[in-house]
């Protein structure tokens, strides 16, 4: 993952510098991705994506396929 880019193809697009700094600290402390599970499976989703776009369980499988997010068991 390019640390300055969102998976949507845009540079990280936080509204404030403070929110960007907080998320960058969380990424440093806990890693770039977080396991998100639904009734259809689990995927490693970028923390920046969740912070910038949110995520709904129904869209997770198609987003994971589109962006190549790793499927977990």
User: Could you state, in order of their start, the residue ranges of all structural domains in the chain?
Assistant: 17-72
| Distance separating alpha carbons of residues 30 and 3, to the nearest angstrom | 14
pLDDT for the residue numbered 68:
97
What confidence tens digit (pLDDT) does each residue in 4-30 have? 899 999 999 999 999 999 999 999 999
Distance, C-alpha 15 to centroid of its chain:
16
What confidence tens digit (pLDDT) does each residue in 15-69 have? 999 999 999 999 999 999 999 999 999 999 999 999 999 999 999 999 999 999 9
More confident residue, 23 or 1: 23
Distances (CA, A) of 68 to 15, 19, 20, 62: 26, 26, 24, 10
Q: What is this structure's pTM?
A: 0.89
pLDDT > 80? residue 2 = no
**3 state DSSP class of 3:** coil
């Amino acid at each position: 993952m390019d640390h300055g880019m969102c998976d949507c193809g845009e540079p990280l697009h936080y509204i404030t510098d403070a929110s960007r700094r907080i998320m960058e600290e969380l990424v440093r402390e806990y890693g770039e991705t977080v396991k998100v599970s639904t009734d259809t499976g689990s995927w490693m989703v970028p923390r920046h994506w969740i912070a910038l776009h949110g995520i709904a369980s129904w869209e997770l499988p198609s987003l994971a396929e589109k962006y190549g997010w790793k499927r977990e068991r």
